Amino acid sequence: MKKELIVCFFLCFTLIANAQKKASALTGLKEKTAFQTSSPWIPEIDARPDIAIVYGTNDRDGMTFEERLRTWRDHGYQAHFMTGIAWGEYFDYFLGKWDGQNHLGVGQVDIKGDTIGHGKNMPYIVPVQSYIDYMKSQVIKKVIDAGVSSIFLEEPEFWARAGYSAVFKQEWQRYYGFPWRAQHESPENTYLSNKLKYQLYYNAIKQVSTFAKDYGKTKGLNVKVYIATHSLVNYSSWMIVSPEASLASLPGIDGYIAQVWTGTSREATYYNGIKKERVFENAFLEYGSMVSMTAPTGRKLFFLTDPIEDWPRDWGDYKRNYEATFTAELLYPTVNNYEVMPWPERIYTRPYKLANSKGSALIPNYYSTQMQIMINSLNDMPISNNRVSGSSGIGVLMCNSLMFQRFPIHNGFDDPQFSNFYGQTFPLLKYGVPVQTVHMENLSYRASLRDMKVLIMSYSNMKPMSPTMHQDLVDWVKKGGVLIYCGRDDDPYQSVMEWWNTKENQFKAPSEHLFKLLNLNVSSGNKKYTAGKGVVYILRQNPKEFVMKADASGEFLDVVKKAYENDAKAGKLEFKNCFYLERGPYDIVSVMDESINDKPYVVKGPVVDLFNSALPVLSQKVINPGEQAFLYDLKRVKNKLQPQVLASASRIYSEKIYKGSYAFTSVGPLKTVNSMRILLPFSPKKISVMDKKGNTISDVKMVWDNISKTCYLSFGNNPEGVDVKIMW
């Protein structure tokens, strides 16, 4: 009997390994693009990234998790796994089936005594030890037994307004050694409460990721664990606490998915006294904060975008904001791994509103075709050494404690719409400066400050979590760095019980400790000081004052300009209204509104417009303020005499080039329309388009452009593949 089990076990893992090899052979690109789905494979959602991240272990529609996983492997995908770490369909745990105890009491509870839920019998969780043990034994073990070697733990989230449940009070006593204190009663209680929330999920992820690595080894698998998380910008804005940057240094964490999309980036912000949505600008900063969190640690990073979002809007709204977030992610040339969409089943198979209409419809062909052109370009998107146009080397410091003092309001000190952060970033970003963010948790890594010329910081909305952060900062300044400190140090969190005011340290504010290490006599009231070879500016204004009133950022920008040009000697600080980046043959452009001028940006052609489902060849592209562009520059095509698909709303396989012909297989989701721009040496004399059964496809459109030597081709997509042969 034991021998039979061993043989069965070996055969199962052989089949899994063969399926994974098949996936790699078919996709041709290993683990570069992905989507997450709770659905089994269906032809309508076969968008052809490298990876299908299968969501949740529960059986669905009469299909087991293992069967659902297999449907994706059988269709050539690498199958990874994702599950919520702060919520999920863990009903056997919540309702007592797992260990005989009802665990609904582990939910996060607000001041009214209401459990914060993610669905019926699905609370946001206080990650107590029983829940961690459940995750390890019932979820992680199950997926590794199914042969999964890449696990994504999604959204470790603890709501700032939570912290009133019985189990949280128990965790407080265990962690701090004294009884729970209500967070609404004082700033110190709020700070301590949020530090605990942060620590609880740090501990949960540390345990679960360590278990996954260790258990995988017993199965002969090198298991990788990733965190799928919103950015620190968004969590701080939305008043959610999460471990964020601290996880990047855990040995059990291999990387992140940066969950940035229209829903996060459309959160209204203040600039020039006006509160409104600024989707591109917000997305640019969100993606940037994820880069600064992971790059110094060498962890892998996937960028996510979503062609729709969680809340119902119309297709026109989705399209416009998808272009904005997509452009923002491409402006980070060091990242070329992407989650091309979450939930393809809701994108392709659910109706949403039409613009200016009460009716709803499935995704329109013009949008699904454009979207597929965009996501298929990501399969080929190169890493680039090019930089975004503009003055580089200006950074804004961030720290996980940004999440600690957002809620509730104490002593009347408010930070509307997270404006103390945007006050440091928007005045520069709106003037075309590609401002970066720097995580204080990563200051000990040399790469964090390697290219920084000027650093901007404030303790109006965050606090340093250790004195070593200051020492790393001081070392950088004294070697020639330029620091701009903005803040009145008047928020109520300055005096919470922390390292700067306990034991040997007796500072009224954490900045006092920093200034002492820099040997600054700030009582003089000066704005500029020297420290070693470096310079420090002190502006006694909270950064929110730069954006919450009209025309209030002038002095701040003047100081940054002097710091950059005169002190850092980094060259002229360029103010403009646009960003431009070349990545291989691609041009990525965004033009700011509310900027230094209203001039459009013009790209000289010939270029193919990848935000247009018809893929037109343009002699020039004009981008107006508030718009973005994604272009294929035909002047930068490699091997111009070689036939090749330049852009397509499908994925291309099995390319074959003969003396007078070019053939390939095109694969895309059912019920969508393919649109292709193909470079050829001569005008086509004959084009054959056939399905896999050998039937000729009749709905083919073809237009030859003699100037660009490109052929436009369009026909219905098919996940089984369409064979195209072009002869000249």
pLDDT at residue 249 in the model: 84
| CA-to-CA dists, residue 48 to 73, 229, 369, 417, angstroms | 12, 23, 14, 38
Contact between 607 and 618 (Cβ < 8 Å): yes
pLDDT in tens, 58-73: 998 889 999 999 999 9
Q: Sign (positive/negative) of CA torsion 22, 676, 591, 277? A: negative
User: What tokens were used for 384?
Assistant: 């680039």
Which of 674, 703, 685 lies closest to 46 in space, CA to CA? 674
Neighbours of 599 (CB within 10 A): 13
pLDDT in tens, 482-538: 999 999 999 999 999 999 999 999 999 999 999 999 999 999 999 999 999 999 999
CATH number of the domain located at residue range(s) 644-727 in this protein: 2.60.40.1180
pLDDT at residue 77 in the model: 97
Q: Does the pLDDT at position 237 exceed 50?
A: yes
pLDDT at residue 248 in the model: 86
CA 167, CA 67: separation in Å to the nearest integer? 37
DSSP for residue 114:
P
How confident is residue 25, by pLDDT bands cut at 50, 70 and 90? very low
User: What tokens were used for 651?
Assistant: 């994925």
CA 219, CA 678: separation in Å to the nearest integer? 46
User: What tokens were used for 685?
Assistant: 């004399």
Q: What value does the mean pLDDT of the chain take? A: 95
Contacts of 362 (CB under 8 A, 6+ apart): 348, 349, 350, 351
Average pLDDT over residues 475-484: 98
pLDDT in tens, 562-571: 999 999 999 9
**Domain 394-567 is in which class?**
alpha beta
How confident is residue 16, by pLDDT bands cut at 50, 70 and 90? very low
- Domain ranges in the chain are 394-567, 644-727
CA 182, CA 187: separation in Å to the nearest integer? 10
Contact between 45 and 37 (Cβ < 8 Å): yes
Q: Is 329 left (phi over 0), alpha (psi -120 to 50) or beta?
A: alpha
Look up the pTM and report it: 0.95
Residue in this structure with the two tokens 């009663």, named with its chain if needed: 185
pLDDT in tens, 265-286: 999 999 999 999 999 999 999 9
Contacts of 679 (CB under 8 A, 6+ apart): 634, 637, 640, 642, 643, 644, 645, 646, 708, 709, 710
